């Protein structure tokens, strides 16, 4: 009777059981150049995702959460920089070779890319912690490589003579994902065994 009760409680635990997997990328930095004032410059950056987030086909994985954290650094002592970011599932950059664009040669897929960081101004000589948890990041799960298109524009200058070029720096970029793998069939296997 004691053994049967023990197996019954295991059955209840297993039927509602699931495995939670947390994965994240190694921190990396990216510099986005500015080559003009009031006209945006775009840097396309490729990111290869961890294997745990790629090999999910047919695994009945539930994507619970995907987020990115980073620090946006404006190193200029005089210039306010305007930045935004989009997530694309197509691109031409490689992880070791970013591509830069202006409005003149912006790729067609830019308009299909999902906005993940709305246009935002960063004051001179500032460090700003940013967390991005837009639902569009969930669509990256299962992809081997994704692309981020980051814009950078000088929008204001303080008194004095600014030094060009100015690069906005994205530091300690980390992408985290929490995935769940449910095990709904384990209860059936135990029940067939007469437990």
11-19 long-range contacts, Cβ below 8 Å, gap at least 24? 11/187, 11/190, 11/191, 11/195, 14/183, 14/186, 14/187, 14/190, 15/184, 15/186, 15/187, 17/182, 17/183, 17/186, 18/180, 18/181, 18/182, 18/183, 19/180, 19/181, 19/183
Assess whether pLDDT exceeds 50 at residue 98.
Answer: yes
- Tokens 């990115």 sit on residue: 68
Instruction: Give the range among 18-32, 95-109, 160-174, 176-190 with minimum mean pLDDT.
Output: 176-190
Instruction: Give pLDDT tens digits for 163-180.
Output: 777 888 989 988 888 888
Tell me how many degrees the CA angle 42-73-26 measures, rounded to the nearest 5: 80
- Tokens 């994902």 sit on residue: 177
Res 141: pLDDT: 81
- Mean pLDDT score, 126-131: 97
Max avg pLDDT among 28-32, 112-116, 133-137, 176-180:
112-116
Q: Which domains does the chain have, with CATH numbers?
A: 20-181 (2.60.120)
Alpha helix positions (H), the chain: 2-15, 51-54, 186-192
Question: Does 55 or 128 have the greater pLDDT score?
Answer: 128
pTM (2 d.p.): 0.74
């Amino acid at each position: 009777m004691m053994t049967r009760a023990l197996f019954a409680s295991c059955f209840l635990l297993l039927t509602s059981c699931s495995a939670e997997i947390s994965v994240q990328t190694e921190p990396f930095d990216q510099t986005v150049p500015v080559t003009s004032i009031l006209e945006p410059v775009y840097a396309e950056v490729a990111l290869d995702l961890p294997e745990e987030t790629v090999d999910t086909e047919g695994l009945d994985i539930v994507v619970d959460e995907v987020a990115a954290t980073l620090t946006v650094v404006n190193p200029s002592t005089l210039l306010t920089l305007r930045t935004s970011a989009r997530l694309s599932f197509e691109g031409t950059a490689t992880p070791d070779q970013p591509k830069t664009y202006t409005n003149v040669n912006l790729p067609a897929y830019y308009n299909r890319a999902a906005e993940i960081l709305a246009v935002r101004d960063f004051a001179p000589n500032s460090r700003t912690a940013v967390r991005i948890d837009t639902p569009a990041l969930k669509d990256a799960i299962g992809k081997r490589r994704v692309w981020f298109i980051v814009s950078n524009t000088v929008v204001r200058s303080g008194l004095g003579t600014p030094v060009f070029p100015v690069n906005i720096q994205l530091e300690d970029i980390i992408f985290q994902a929490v995935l769940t793998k449910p095990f709904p069939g384990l209860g059936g296997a135990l029940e067939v065994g007469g437990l």
